[in-house]
């Protein structure tokens, strides 16, 4: 039998016995209480009837006295009004006390006396008054007759009063005796209930002591075993008895938990050993920050910072961070502790012990270290990579600058030298055409030569502008973009709009301006070749130290989600090169498109005022 079944069975037996005894006691109490209520009700009723009879008899006598003194008939009417109620009260009293001979005899005696007084006394006095009113007797004789008749009626009234008092005494006596019986029954019931409560208490106490002894002994074994295990004796187990209740199941579960705990600790120690080796031999710096201080650092982080482990542990975590990065690092640290969403990977500059600036790529996450929240950080030294990227960017800028200078040189040569030569040829052909009359055979040939030369001059001018637009060198990026958008609309028939927002003009170096202009050229060329668009919108804006250029068309678009890369086969080497150049400028390049919903090409570059850049380079 399980412990739960034993507890439920024991308490059900106690409740059942208590319920039976309580039911019997309450039954006797209810019976006695009902008897008391009946007697009380009977006493009240008899008392009310007696009081009402006394009142009615008094009213009847008063009305009769009024008639005898005045002779007015209204008093007789009042007298008659009290006769019937008296009879009705006597009949009601007889019906209520049917089966109680003493009460019936008294009420019958009262009724006989009342009727006797009415027939012999009241009628005689009324007759004397009538004789007085008729003049048959005088006033003195009338008084004598009334006195004589009253003398006969007084014994009857005294006996009626005695019957009333006897009825009240009997009712009070019966109430008193029955009340004593009801009180005795109530006392017996109270004593029975007290005995039941005491018995139930002692039974529950005994049962509870037995159960508590069983439970506490089993729990004590579990507590003792837990204390032994907490003292690092993981091999200890609770002895198992032959019983099969829940407490023994608890002991078995505890032993199973101890076995699993022992196995888990073994696995954990092995894992910690492997983890410790991995962490200590990692190429990246790994450290833990708790309460704003370093509490753990691996050897790689020590090499990166130049500090020994003893110097780092306990040091303020912001001590190594350069002032420009402290606010960002501190803000993200507290946000991460509060459970807020922050970027997992970021870059920051640290200061080594030798005073050198180290560029670190930081990956951080919230962990629990020694039962409290902490931040685990993996720091990768990207100083060499940043230097390489900077050299690569400078090389790329130099290549672009050399390329643009070569284009500019070729553009100038085409425009200035070949253009001027062709212009001179065109003038000479014009002179030659004027020297030959219109009807001559050489005149149409001269016209054709002059037309071809004019077309060659226009083509050279167009090629020259494409190689290096003079408006970009002379007026800047925004006018150059506006001019190119207008020329694109004239040349292709596609409606093109241009919009510029913010201080774009002062945020770029010449190399970056050239890059943005070439991006617009390449994007509009792709709109013409692939988009089948009717409208294209070119916008450039400068917000929050970033310049953003968007070229959006309403063409057929494509499924951008399935675009695995900006491959040269789909977009041509132009946009592929633009993406690489944007990354070289610490910028981004995105394509947003959907079938039949057009395409948007977006480039974003950092926007730093030239004055600040020049000041920082000094």
pLDDT tens digit sequence for 243-267 = 666 667 777 777 778 778 777 777 7
Q: How far apart are CA 582 and CA 519, in angstroms?
A: 10
Q: Among 286, 274, 264, 483, which residue's Cα sits nearest to residue 375?
A: 286
Give the bridge partners for 359, in sequence order.
349
* In contact, 436 and 443? CB cutoff 8 Å: yes
17-39 tens-digit pLDDT: 777 777 777 776 677 667 666 66
Q: Residue 476: left if φ>0, alpha if ψ -120 to 50, beta else—which one? A: left
117 secondary structure, DSSP code: I
Residue 445: exposure state from Cβ atoms within 10 A (0-12, 13-18, ≥19): middle
Does domain 385-468 bear CATH number 3.40.50? no
Of residues 37 and 533, the one with the higher pLDDT is: 533
pLDDT of residue 551: 94
Give mean pLDDT, residues 580-607.
85
Q: How far apart are CA 108 and CA 100, in angstroms?
A: 12
Q: How far apart are CA 449 and CA 469, in angstroms?
A: 28
Q: How far apart are CA 46 and CA 29, in angstroms?
A: 26
Joined together, the tokens standing for residue 167 give 């009825």
With H, G, I as helix, E, B as strand and everything else as coil, classify residue 212.
helix
- Output b/e per residue, 174-189; b: 16+ Cβ within 10 A: bbeebeeebeebeeeb
Distances (CA, A) of 334 to 285, 326, 341: 21, 12, 11
Q: Which CATH class is domain 282-381?
A: alpha beta
Dihedral sign for Cα 213, 215, 221, 226, please: negative
Q: Which helix (H) or strand (E) holds 26?
A: helix 3-70
Give the bridge partners for 535, in sequence order.
495
Q: Which CATH architecture has domain 475-618?
A: 2-Layer Sandwich (3.30)
* Equal CATH topology for 385-468 and 475-618: no
User: How many Cβ atoms are within 10 Å of 599's Cβ, its own excluded?
Assistant: 24
Q: How far apart are CA 343 and CA 377, in angstroms?
A: 13
pLDDT at 604 over 80: yes
421 secondary structure, DSSP code: H
314-362 tens-digit pLDDT: 999 888 888 888 888 888 888 888 888 888 788 888 988 888 888 888 8
3-state secondary structure string, 171-189? Answer: HHHHHHHHHHHHHHHHHHH
pTM equals 0.40
89-105 tens-digit pLDDT: 777 766 665 556 777 77
Q: How many helices (H) and strands (E) does the chain have?
A: 17, 10
Segments making up each domain of the chain, as ranges: 3-209, 282-381, 385-468, 475-618
Dihedral sign for Cα 195, 198, 200, 202, please: negative
């Amino acid at each position: 039998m399980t412990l739960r079944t034993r507890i439920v069975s024991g308490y059900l037996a106690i409740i059942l016995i208590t319920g039976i005894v309580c039911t019997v006691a309450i039954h006797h109490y209810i019976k006695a209480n009902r008897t008391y209520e009946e007697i009380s009700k009977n006493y009240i009723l008899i008392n009310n009837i007696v009081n009402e009879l006394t009142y009615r008899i008094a009213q009847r006598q008063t009305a009769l006295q009024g008639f005898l003194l005045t002779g007015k008939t209204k008093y007789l009417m009042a007298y008659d009004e009290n006769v019937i109620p008296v009879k009705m009260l006597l009949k009601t009293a007889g019906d209520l006390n049917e089966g109680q001979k003493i009460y019936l005899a008294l009420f019958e005696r009262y009724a006989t006396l009342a009727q006797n007084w009415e027939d012999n006394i009241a009628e005689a006095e009324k007759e004397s008054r009538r004789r007085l009113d008729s003049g048959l007797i005088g006033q003195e004789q009338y008084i004598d007759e009334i006195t004589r008749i009253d003398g006969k009626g007084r014994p009857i009234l005294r006996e009626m009063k005695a019957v009333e008092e006897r009825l009240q005494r009997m009712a009070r006596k019966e109430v008193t005796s029955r009340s004593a019986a009801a009180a005795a029954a109530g006392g017996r019931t109270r004593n029975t209930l007290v005995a039941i409560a005491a018995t139930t208490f002692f039974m529950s106490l005994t049962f509870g002591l037995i159960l508590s002894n069983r439970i506490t002994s089993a729990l004590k074994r579990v507590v003792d075993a837990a204390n032994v295990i907490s003292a690092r004796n993981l091999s200890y187990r609770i002895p198992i008895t032959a019983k099969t209740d829940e407490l023994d199941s608890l002991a078995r579960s505890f032993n199973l938990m101890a076995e699993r705990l022992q196995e888990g600790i073994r696995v954990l120690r092995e894992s910690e050993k492997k983890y410790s080796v991995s962490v200590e031999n990692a190429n990246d710096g790994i450290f833990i920050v708790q309460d704003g201080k370093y509490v753990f650092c691996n050897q790689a982080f020590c090499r990166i910072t130049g500090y020994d482990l003893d110097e780092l542990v306990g040091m303020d975590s912001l001590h190594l961070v350069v002032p420009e990065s402290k606010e960002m690092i501190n803000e993200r640290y507290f946000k991460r502790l509060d459970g807020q969403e922050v970027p997992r990977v970021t870059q920051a500059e640290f200061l080594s012990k030798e005073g050198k600036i180290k560029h670190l790529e930081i990956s951080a996450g919230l962990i629990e270290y020694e039962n409290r929240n902490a931040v685990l950080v993996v720091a990768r030294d990207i100083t060499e990579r940043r230097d390489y990227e900077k050299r690569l960017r400078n090389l790329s800028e130099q290549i672009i600058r050399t390329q643009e200078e070569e284009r500019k040189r070729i553009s100038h040569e085409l425009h200035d030298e070949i253009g001027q030569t062709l212009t001179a040829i065109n003038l000479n052909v014009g002179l030659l055409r004027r020297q030959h009359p219109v009807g001559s055979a050489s005149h149409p040939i001269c016209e054709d030569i002059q037309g071809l030369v004019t077309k060659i001059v226009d083509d050279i001018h167009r090629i020259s502008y494409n190689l290096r637009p003079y408006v970009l060198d002379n007026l800047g990026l925004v006018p150059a973009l506006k001019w190119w958008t207008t020329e694109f609309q004239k040349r292709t028939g596609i409606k093109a709009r241009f919009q510029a927002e913010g201080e774009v003009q002062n945020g770029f170096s010449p190399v970056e301006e050239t890059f943005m202009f070439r991006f617009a050229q390449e994007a509009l060329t792709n709109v013409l070749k692939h988009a089948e668009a009717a409208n294209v919108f070119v916008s450039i804006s400068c917000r929050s130290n970033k310049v953003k250029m968007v070229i959006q068309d309403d063409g057929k678009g494509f499924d951008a989600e399935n675009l695995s890369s900006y491959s040269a086969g789909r977009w041509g080497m132009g946009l592929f090169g633009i993406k690489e150049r944007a990354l070289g400028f610490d910028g981004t390049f995105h394509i947003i498109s959907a079938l039949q919903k057009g395409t948007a090409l977006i480039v974003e570059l950092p926007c730093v005022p030239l004055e600040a850049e020049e000041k920082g380079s000094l």
